Chains A and B, each alone.
Chain A
Amino acid sequence: GPKVLQIPSHQIIDMGQMVTLNCDPVSNHLYFYWYKQILGQQMEFLVNFYNGKVMEKSKLFKDQFSVERPDGSYFTLKIQPTALEDSAVYFCASSLGRDTEVFFGKGTRLTVV
């Protein structure tokens, strides 16, 4: 089936440094999402993105977070600077339209030390 690719699968970073998580969405999809999951439990919405713009962001999407998809390349989540509480698995997802199946990548496990 359709695949969302995430790079890297694991990242360890020093607190205060910048990190960029990369996502290659399903090729014809138009809506993109980032979710955060801690300890294999609740999947929490961070942000969604359509037509080059953020549509909605949650209160977890701190000022240190930003997303972009320059010229249809990777959809990225940048955290600058990182904090210890940013340690989690970040899942990228995409969908063709609204109310259509959302496909998730395998996640990037981010550890901030």
Chain B
Amino acid sequence: QQKVQQSPESLIVPEGGMASLNCTSSDRNVDYFWWYRQHSGKSPKMLMSIFSNGEKEEGRFTVHLNKASLHTSLHIRDSQPSDSALYLCAASCMGYKLTFGTGTSLLVDP
């Protein structure tokens, strides 16, 4: 069964700092990675997705993917207190379902 591992489990960064989150899949058939953000008591909302090697940037958020190692990372620059949330990485294979990791809890310290 596919596993998605996320690290670190929790992270504290100062306001204005850079947050870096990691995610690796154990399934070589994975073809898409997704990053979701979930504020406490709310539904997960998609931040970014990536399926090809390299980097993708949207505003303060950058995602990297290394398909050979099935590793993706999310980097948040100029972190804001409103970025404090649970960040969920998910992987999909042929698009049938998302398999989520255990999440990284990010706290941005004002």
Task: Name A's B-contacting residues (CB within 8 A).
Answer: 4, 33, 35, 40-45, 48, 55-56, 91, 97-107
Contact B96 A56 (CB under 8 A): yes
| CA gap between A86 and B81 in the complex, in Å | 33
- The answer on a CB contact under 8 Å between A104 and B44 is yes
User: Are B96 and A98 neighbours in the complex by a CB distance under 8 Å?
Assistant: yes
Contact A107 B43, beta carbon cutoff 8 Å = yes
25 A-B contacts (beta carbon < 8 Å): A4-B43, A33-B97, A35-B100, A40-B86, A41-B86, A41-B102, A42-B101, A42-B103, A43-B44, A43-B88, A44-B100, A45-B97, A45-B99, A45-B100, A48-B97, A98-B95, A99-B32, A99-B51, A99-B94, A99-B95, A103-B46, A104-B43, A105-B43, A106-B42, A106-B43
Smallest Cβ-Cβ distance to B32: which chain A residue: A99
Contact of B103 among A35, A41, A100 (CB under 8 A): A41
Nearest-Cβ distance from residue B46 to partner chain A, whole angstroms: 5
Interface residues of B (CB under 8 A from A): 31-32, 34, 38, 40-46, 49, 51, 86, 88, 90, 92, 94-103
Contact, CB under 8 Å: A42 / B102: yes
A-B contact sample (18 more), CB < 8 A, given A99-B51, A104-B45: A4-B43, A33-B98, A40-B38, A40-B86, A41-B86, A42-B101, A43-B90, A43-B103, A91-B43, A100-B95, A102-B34, A102-B98, A103-B46, A104-B43, A104-B44, A106-B42, A106-B43, A107-B43
Chain A residues contacting B42 (CB-CB under 8 Å) are 106
Answer whether A56 and B103 are a contact pair too, CB < 8 Å, given A43-B44, A106-B42.
no
Which residue of chain A has its CB nearest to the CB of B45? A104
> What distance in Å separates the Cβ of A64 from its nearest Cβ neighbour in chain B?
21
What is the chain B residue whose CB lies nearest that of A57?
Answer: B97
Q: For A40, list chain B residues within 8 Å (CB).
A: 38, 40-41, 86
Residues on A with C-beta less than 8 A from B38 are 40
Give the nearest-CB partner of B40 in chain A: A40
Chain B residues positioned under 8 Å from A106 (CB to CB): 42-43
